[in-house]
Chain A
Amino acid sequence: MNNINAQIAEIVAEYTDSPQVDFSMANSFEDLGIDSLSLVEIIFDIEEQFDIKIPAEAELQALGLPISTFTDVVAIVQHLVEKK
């Protein structure tokens, strides 16, 4: 889990001007200064790194997995990596 958290933090840090903050404390990606376009890129980078396919937002919602915060993303990746 910690390893996944650290790897995702490293990816997210590339898209924000404040890489020192604790991403898990942020309420949303917007709070981190990450817009929807950057989020699309972050998802792409995560998919590449973990060799997973993150489902579309509607599908995630149906699974009860929101994707609006850093912690959400970590949980989704954890879920998908375990399923592999």
Chain B
Amino acid sequence: MSERIVVTGMGCISAAGVNLEEFNDTLFGMHKVSTTNKTSRFSKISFSEGSETPSDVPFNTDERSFLAAQVKRYKATNYFPQKDLKLLDRFAQFALISADEAIKHSKIDFAQVDPYRCAVVHGTSIGGQETIEQSYSQLFELGRTRTHPFTVPKLLPSAAASQISMKYGIKGPSFSTSSACSSAGHAIAMATLMLRCNLIDVAVVGGAEACITKGNFYAWDGLRVLSPEGCFPFSKKRSGLVIGEGAGTLVLERESFAIGRGAKIIAVLSGMGMTSDAHNVVQPLAKGAEFAMKAALEDADLTEYSIDYINAHGSATAQNDLSESQAIKSVFPSKPLVSSTKSFHGHVLGAGAAIEAIACILAMQNQTVPPSLSGSDQDPACDISLTQEHSGLNILERTNIKHALSNSFAFGGLNISLIFSKNRE
């Protein structure tokens, strides 16, 4: 058996908070959410004529509107000097913010380790969407004949990985993974494989996304999957997904390396399973999800009775919720507690798997399952042990969580399940 791979640092930014502490408070604080105000963490946005970026409220009801899970009150210049921003698309900004937090959390000093034994693997579904749309607007709307010379280095999906490696002098393998909503999960998996075969000692892994843009929202709207009301996974009243933005980053290490440098081990990445439906670009297959979860259990050397909490993909589309419920029921006879934290942070596409991995680890630390903010109207067709809010209050399920599984199932049938476990006492 290969060496255990451990988590030593975490950082995130999303609609559910601009750092780990805020994210933890949002998911696990005993905050009250009024049943009539469930969409309050998401914003109504519209795109005015000639603008590819969204306008905040006051929202003009004459314009076409969308619901989005934006990072609240985000101001790039609070985080970066103006000079640096010329080379940073919004998705790379989020990647750096979450990476900074995770690296600080892990207390690793990259100047004190072999930089060629360190890696960055950071996923994104789309990459520099805002930069792409801004340059297209210049060319096709304004009739300009040139775009800014940094357009290419800003929009590359690998820009986030490059920026993190440059900032910290990480000189081993650095690249981006892209598999739609599973991108960050595949990033974590690829880094874990490199760690397990002793190619590297440390990896900065995760995902980032920033595509609350006119072109992207009109494109998603064309698929008829965007909810105008909110994100209600596995609920009778679900009406589609809410796209979010943000990033999540974790620091992974070989256990002996982490112990050798005196790092605090937060959790163990004990298993991963990856499958492809090989079926349809948007319609998921329960079998693909089922085999991904089974593969993760096998990889972790755990049985179907070992999992205490499942952070579902739970995108709140009818297709996903039904097939994922079916897959969970067929794999887990003991019906472990399930929730979808997308109801807090939205569907952060290529960053989702990293943010939800962090939610799993926090659930183990808090010994509490975060709820789905989906009311008490569970869809009987989704017959799983859903942890929900009741009567306008978030009921947090307190339980001893030793092993938590996180699912990400992407368009095109690209599935990944990750299992995180508590470190032995």
Contact = CB atoms under 8 A, between A and B. Distances in A.
Interface in A1-57: 37, 40-41, 43-44, 47-48, 53
Contacts of B150: 37, 41
5 interchain residue pairs of minimum CB distance: A40-B149, A44-B149, A41-B149, A44-B148, A47-B146
B139 to A, nearest CB: 14
Nearest to A43: B149
A32 to B, nearest CB: 16
A44 B149 CA distance: 7
Given A37-B150, A41-B86, A44-B146, 4 more contacts: A41-B149, A44-B148, A44-B149, A48-B146
Which interface class (under 10, 10 to 19, 20 to 34, 35 or more) fits B? under 10
Contacts of A37: 150
6 contacts: A37-B150, A41-B150, A43-B149, A44-B146, A48-B146, A53-B145
Interface in B139-169: 145-146, 148-150
A37 B83 CA distance: 12
A37 B149 CA distance: 9
A13 to B, nearest CB: 14
Interface in B157-208: none
Interface residues of A, number: 8
Interface of B: 86, 145-146, 148-150
A41 B149 CA distance: 6
Contacts of B148: 44
A40 B150 CA distance: 9
B19 to A, nearest CB: 31
A43 to B, nearest CB: 8
* Chain A interface mostly: helix
Interface of A: 37, 40-41, 43-44, 47-48, 53
A41 to B, nearest CB: 6
Contacts of B146: 44, 47-48
Contacts of A44: 146, 148-149
Contacts of A40: 149
A39 B275 CA distance: 47
Contacts of A41: 86, 149-150
B156 to A, nearest CB: 15
Nearest to A15: B83
User: Which of B86, B146, B149 is packed against the most chain A CB atoms within 10 Å?
Assistant: B149
Nearest to B86: A41
Contacts of A48: 146
B196 to A, nearest CB: 37
A40 B86 CA distance: 13
B379 to A, nearest CB: 53
A7 B8 CA distance: 52
A67 B145 CA distance: 23
A43 B148 CA distance: 11
Nearest to B145: A53
Nearest to B148: A44
Contacts of B145: 53
A6 B380 CA distance: 74
A6 B368 CA distance: 66
A76 to B, nearest CB: 17
A43 B146 CA distance: 12
A46 B149 CA distance: 12
A80 to B, nearest CB: 15
Nearest to B144: A48
Nearest to A40: B149
A41 B151 CA distance: 11
A44 B144 CA distance: 13
